[in-house]
Chain A
Amino acid sequence: MPDLLHLLETLLANPWVILGIKLSVLLILLPATLVVGYVELKVMAHIQHRLGPMYPGGFHGWAQTLADGIKFIQKEDIIPRAADRMVFAAVPFLTMMGAALAFVVIPVGPQWIIEDLEVGIFYALAVSSIGVIGVLMAGWASANKYSLVGALRMAGQLIAYELPLVLAAAAVVMQAGSMSMVDIVESQRPFWLFNWPQGLSFVIFMIAATAEVVRPPFDMPIAEAEIITGAFTEYSGMRFAFGLFAAEYIAFIALSALATTLFLGGYLPPIPALDWEPLRPLWFLLKTSSILFVLMWVRWTYPRLREDQLQRFAWKVLVPLSLANIFFVGALKLTPII
């Protein structure tokens, strides 16, 4: 066993292997959206006493999302005549890029990270907000009133929820004394499974993150019953699949991974005895998937909020709460607990 460990260590010291790992993170990302999408279909179906996809691929319809993707690629790509073609076409790149860039700083293991930036968390939150520019562009470029309403709702939602999201993350940064993601994870060593001083930050972060990725109960920007698909009403085929679905799921995974890193001790195992280097990505994946599951569970439990309820909740509840939380963490910082 020590031989194997030694081999791994030498491998991880090799820059080419590291590059391969970094590439594979991106190559894993797209298939991961398919997997998460498939799991979501199944969770939704079983909550509603259905079976969900059962045929594609043979075993329990595992290839459903893959088949959906292929179908989207085959579909006709329609750009409305009144639309601003350039801007319209650029949208999927922006929305997907914004979501995918956050993965650069997420540590799957202390070595398993594309780039351990010193301003890691700052960078992650900044790039994850790029997507909204894409959505705004889609709204303007589509020359469609539903698109515009959706885009403006999206912008309003982002402004409202970015604040509690950043304030919750700021509390974590205060505790860790560093913005580097690896440092943040390591600072949680004494807490292992759950970083309890950040309990409130965790709740605020999860609520704000759900609003940030526009998932129910905060999906007013794409509320089909009111504004069709919001900013993406005019999109079809592959542009729709990448601009909306892939971007949403990548952002969904990114924010779950971020929450894992900030609050659940990232790649650290639940008990110190299990802290073995090769197993660390496994712990990370386990924690991230459980957060993904909880968010899916929440999605199929609560109905959509109204636009004014959403805004009131953000400004009157979440923002004051996160400010109080910062005060609380600051007070804890004066004690020897953290």
Chain B
Amino acid sequence: MTTTMATTSSATTAAASSKSSPGPSTTGAAELARRGEPSPPALQESTLDPAEALYSEVIPAGNGWSREILAGQVLRIVDLEGNQAVDTLFFNAAATDERYSAPDTITAQKNIYLTTGSVLMSTEGRPMLTIVADTCGRHDTLGGACSAESNQVRYALEKKYMHSCRDSFLLELGRLGRGMGKRDLPSNINFFMNVPVTPEGGLSFADGLSAPGRYVEMRAEMNVLALISNCPQLNNPCNGYHPTPVRVLIWDAPAWDSTTWDVP
């Protein structure tokens, strides 16, 4: 398998990307129909204007990122070039031993996929964020983060040198200086990644459902610390064999609109 790293263009045009099939917003549904699977839930667009975001940054492939997000603020992650896995964790900013819990999230909604309406639950059973918009349609809760050691098991002992999400997570936690480390890395979310589970208990890594410009947007229900690794994995199709940048934007909580108040 060749692992050439093509030069990443910063353009978001679909034509330039080799990572996904360009098309209308129903690409995800069309792909699932082709495989004989039920359609994903309806995609939900956002009404927020990126020009009004108080924060907007591009995370290059292979980089880590973190930021505190206050209750009420909205985080959007944009899959700029399509089918890029974004490994994500959330922590209660005030007490980081309370953190995003994949099992609590999955069992609360009785579904292994995340999309609009999914509530990201904490280890204490409290809502941390709610997904309010999603133009991809399905995000993964089971696939976890790659590591040097899991790359050795899954691919070859000699691949230990390859960059991995866990390295990015650990380095970003170190930069935060909050005393967090490996013990603080439980099962993470993989935005834009598609890991189907069959009723017979099979697991596969299918081609993703995402496409250039797709995004997922979530509102914080408590003050959270968000931690991202923009996945560098080259050995399976989770990044379309070509890791690419993503953009994160944060909007402030909507202000009160005094014109809608009933003034007695």
Partners in one complex: no
- A: residues with CB less than 8 A from B are none
